[in-house]
Structure 1
Amino acid sequence: MSAGRVFHELNPDRIRARILRLPRWPRRGLLFGLGALGALAQAPFFFFPVLAIGLTALVWSLDGARRDARPARAGFERAFTFALGYFAAGVFWIAFAFFSRGVAFAPFGPVAALAVAVLLALYWGLAGAVQARIGGRGAIRVVVFAVLVFAAEWLRGHLLAEFPWNLPAYVWAGGGAVSQSAALFGAWGLSLVTLLAFTAPATLAGPRAVPGRLAPVLAALLVFASLTAWGAQRLAGAGTETMPGVRVRLVQVTMSQREKWAEGNEALVRARYLEAMAAPGLDQVSHVIWPEGALPLYLLEDGETLDHIGRRLADGPVLVTGTPRREEGEDGRDRYYNSVAALRFPGGRPQLTHLYDKVRLVPFGEYIPLAPVFRAIGIETLSDMVDGYSRGPGPDVFNFSAGPPAAILVCYEIVYPRFAASGRARPAWIINVSNDAWFGPTAGPAQHLNIARYRAIESGLPVVRAASGGYSGAISPFGLSDQIIGPRAEGAHDITVPAPLPPTVYSRHGNGIWAGFLFVVVLVVAVCKRDAFRLIWKGNRGH
């Protein structure tokens, strides 16, 4: 094929016209497929061009929805279909959590994964419906689309689902040059900029083909070239200082969930952790960290297990470990918590110094959303010990007698920007304990690690992870790490902890910077689209 023929076939106007001519089912298949391929932009692949291509095609498809007899419905369907593919592929690891639970739960895995994908896709569907009504023509429609999808992402991270996993920002590998901008405006701000840039190519074709339609693409390239240059300069100043007096031993045991939670295996699991923890060099560490729910028992009630630990940690390092716990509520019923405890053992006797109860609970894993509905079809909580956990009172900081204070985040609490304490209570580091074994051999553990890198960059604080079945280790405030431990690396791993940075712009001002930018963008859109808003207002009043 000649170069001229290739150029003709790849002409944006020609591609857009083909998308607009597609019948309903081929169009749905294309949008679903492009959405699923878009998941390759997230960890561990970071092949972000596929998401830019998919979003561009979605904008062009929504151009056709404007001409439909029922534009809002058509816009909803197209955006929903794309997002369904994107989220079904991006968070399919949810299904593996059911597979790990056993044969009885396995059939519900795909159902739960699809249900979550449908819920998340609804937000994008609403964005598509609004886009089809007010998106308009020309370059402004692309800006409107980016803002609407950003709003959908914000809502799915804060309302109902409260699941800000795989935000658009995370297509940039944490610790890379572009990701450093999270220190300025956080993952939310980078998500907005990313959406604006990835939809810019849609201006290359459309109902108003003007000579300057290449300008948005060039502007997007300029913005990311600037972010890359600034990030590279920031990384060039990344030091290798470590926190004095802090040396951490991470204890990792490789064991399937089925084996760990099998009846009667408590002693076996305990022995494995004790053996790994007692490796040579224990007297050289200040903290020992076990992952979330390390032992399949109520540690704080188990005198035998505490005695075993006390013999090894007598007058030694502090133990920070995840553990389920229970207490009697005011109604006389037991309440259960997914907790983190800090224990010292003076003279070998256990002394509880700090206790944190998890606040952000995992749907299906720790509680059942819409419990009557799901239990009616046989879906129960994946927890092996209780039917559901209660929420803790709020974020907390552990003030250790040895070493600086640390914020505690359990499992996917780390996916929430600015969840850890800040301001006057700002800790010196973040401890994130997790049980990533539920993810299995999927992209889930890699996605979780990448998200943790962003929390380090945003806060300017190092993150120490102890993730059973996932990626453990220390992450610097720049999102970097040469101390990452893989999911299959069993044993004791002694690491140093990078020194914290001064508070970042984002940790001081939060979402104010990107919110101000978004306000300006929305104001410009409102001015440009005032006639459309006026017509909608009149139409609503007419009804």
Structure 2
Amino acid sequence: MKRTLPFRAGLRRIGLPSRKGVQQTCIMLGLGVLSATALPPVHALPVLLFTFPALFAAIDRAPSWKRAAWAGGLFGFGLYAASLYWLVNAVMIRAEDFWWFVPFPSLGCALILAPLTAAPAALCRIVPTGPRRMALFAALWTLFDMARVFLFSGFPWNPLGSGFALPGRVGDVLIQPAAWLGVDGMTLVLVFTALFCGTALRDQICLARTTTYTPYFSRILRRSTGIFGTLLAVMWVGAGVARLHFATPSGPLGPIAVMVQGNVPEIEKVGHQSPRTIFERYLTLTAQGVQQAKALRAQNPAQAERPIVFLWPETSFPGYTLLQDSPRARQIIMAWAAGADAGLIGALRQDDNGRYRNSILALAPDGGIEALYDKARLVPFGEYQPKHIPLQIVPQGGLAAGPGPQTWHLPNIPPAGPLICYEVIFSGAVVDKADRPRWFANVTNDGWFGDSAGPRQHLSSVRLRAVEEGLPVARAANTGISIAYDGYGHELGRLGWNKTDTLVTALPAALPVPLFGLYGRIIPFLLCLLIGISALLPIAQRKQVQ
């Protein structure tokens, strides 16, 4: 003991943490990493019953708000570093130019996002330890998570509520409350439940193992929490089942969507390799898909008038401004797609000022451009260069952004809401509320990120937007996963990763506008505000009495 004390004092004197400090740092990082398994594609939601109570215990034990913030920041760093590991894949495609940038995408994003988990850990300590502090922490976690839309062009990737989007029928049921709460409201419920139920469960287990353990909750509160958790689970599932059975599609049916998955390796597009071969591949796949759509329409005479729309993915081939500059190229596309009422093509284009834009071109049967949509939410460091970042990563500052959500009214086609890739992660900001579409046309390219968790996390966002807005989605992805969902978020068909094919799906009608579709993120914001005020109210009352 005499020998270790001077050693520890020496560590503190030179600014290094003690052995205990290193252990606590590793524990907080590990808890964050473990929490990342609750997100797609693992969906291990029960781990949060362990990790969030452990985080809260560290916040409670911290000798100061600064130490509490440090614990929360470490937890967030581990969470985001683990869940965004796949960002490195995008750099590896051009490793010969950006090898020095390899450590930065996932670790850099985690470092930027960590303060948003440190802040709730520090601020919740303004109320005394106990259930009120837990409730305030859950509200603050959700509010700061929602605030990620203000970072750069916004980065609301991987909210914890997306963990409810399990594959299959179970996920269909669990995600229906997004129609009322949105994914942020689901995050609030998840964090709140994980804290209370996880703490009550820990108390119960520890009391059963030893009589020396001092429980955090009283016996009455443990029982109340157990009853509350059970009732919440029953109500959650019941609400999901009820919406699946009683929310009925209405209005015109959607089009027969032909989603073309060219499966072009990203290295070929970046290197401008074989553009003619890639173009011909898309033509062949499109012709096959449109023929399948025509056959599908012929099988049901009642659907003989349903329009056929084909979708090419985001920046589908390395022709850049070919479609913009060459009427002949557009005419060739529509000639191969004879019988289609429109073609929605993901392509780069140049505006009148010479700036490149990531766009969707809507082609008429004669090859004319009927409508243009420019991507509004650009990927920071990928599509545009944040002005206050000194490292020059994106050539010439990147792309120009579009004005925001639009609704296309194309001839003979139900109103469509175009979305390009990253835009689909922005809950409550994907439709023009003054002119709501009847279906989403989503084009994307996840080929940058390889066969990793990234494309699966992106896919869960598409599914949740379908539920939040009650609208079917047709999604064409370059290398996968191309997919179609109805307004319940139920999968209608898919093309898996690394497949070259077309997916032909008759989209159903839209559902009635959900509550979240009407009011958006104001709903989870008000819920957080209500919980936060309730947690703070006893303090205000006590001060008033004094």
1:286 aligns with 2:308: yes
Instruction: Tell me, in whole angstroms, the C-alpha distance in 1 between the residues paired with 2:332 and 2:428.
Output: 38
Name 2:97's counterpart in structure 1: 104
Instruction: Tell me, in whole angstroms, the C-alpha distance in 2 between the residues paired with 1:55 and 1:233.
Output: 30
Instruction: Tell me, in whole angstroms, the C-alpha distance in 2 between the residues paired with 1:494 and 1:373.
Output: 46
Name 2:5's counterpart in structure 1: none
5+ unaligned residues in a row in structure 2: which ranges? Answer: 1-17, 204-213, 295-306
Contact conserved, 2:427 with 2:521, CA < 8 A, in 1? no
Change in Cα spacing, 1:238 to 1:523, as seen in structure 2 (3 Å) is: closer
Change in Cα spacing, 1:137 to 1:531, as seen in structure 2 (3 Å) is: farther
1:153 aligns with 2:145: yes
Instruction: Tell me, in whole angstroms, the C-alpha distance in 1 between the residues paired with 2:520 and 2:346.
Output: 29
Name 1:17's counterpart in structure 2: none
1:323 aligns with 2:333: no
Name 1:59's counterpart in structure 2: 56
Name 1:270's counterpart in structure 2: 279
SS of 2:177's equivalent in the other structure is helix
1:188 aligns with 2:184: yes
Q: Residue by residue, what CA displacement relative to the aligned partner does 1:130-167 show, whole Å, maximum 9, x if unpaired?
A: 23x41421221211211121122011233446211111
Q: Within 5 A, what are the aligned runs for 1:117-516?
A: 117-131=110-124, 133-160=125-152, 162-173=154-165, 175-200=171-196, 201-202=198-199, 209-214=217-222, 215-237=224-246, 244=253, 246-279=255-288, 281-282=290-291, 284=294, 286-296=308-318, 297-298=320-321, 299-303=323-327, 305-313=329-337, 316-329=340-353, 334-346=354-366, 350-370=367-387, 372-375=389-392, 380-381=393-394, 387-516=397-526
Contact conserved, 2:140 with 2:528, CA < 8 A, in 1? no
SS of 2:36's equivalent in the other structure is helix
Instruction: Tell me, in whole angstroms, the C-alpha distance in 1 between the residues paired with 2:355 and 2:140.
Output: 41
Name 1:86's counterpart in structure 2: 79
Give the structure, 1 or 2, with the largest relative contact order (CA under 8 Å, sep 6 or more): 2
TM-score (ref. length: structure 2): 0.85
Change in Cα spacing, 1:217 to 1:147, as seen in structure 2 (3 Å) is: farther
Contact conserved, 1:367 with 1:387, CA < 8 A, in 2? yes
Shift of 1:237: 4.3
Instruction: Tell me, in whole angstroms, the C-alpha distance in 2 between the residues paired with 1:24 and 1:280.
Output: 60
Q: Within 5 A, what are the aligned runs for 1:42-57?
A: 42-57=39-54
Instruction: Tell me, in whole angstroms, the C-alpha distance in 1 between the residues paired with 2:251 and 2:414.
Output: 12
Contact conserved, 1:322 with 1:339, CA < 8 A, in 2? yes
Contact conserved, 2:91 with 2:102, CA < 8 A, in 1? yes
Change in Cα spacing, 1:102 to 1:402, as seen in structure 2 (3 Å) is: farther
TM-score (ref. length: structure 1): 0.85
Name 1:538's counterpart in structure 2: none
Shift of 1:129: 1.9
- One-letter amino acid matched to 1:157: V
Change in Cα spacing, 1:75 to 1:249, as seen in structure 2 (3 Å) is: same
Shift of 1:452: 0.8
Name 1:9's counterpart in structure 2: none
Contact conserved, 1:459 with 1:507, CA < 8 A, in 2? yes
**Alpha-carbon RMSD:** 2.6
SS of 2:79's equivalent in the other structure is helix
Give the aligned length: 496
Contact conserved, 2:406 with 2:418, CA < 8 A, in 1? yes
Out of 193-202 and 243-252, give the one that drifted further.
243-252
5+ unaligned residues in a row in structure 1: which ranges? Answer: 1-20, 535-543
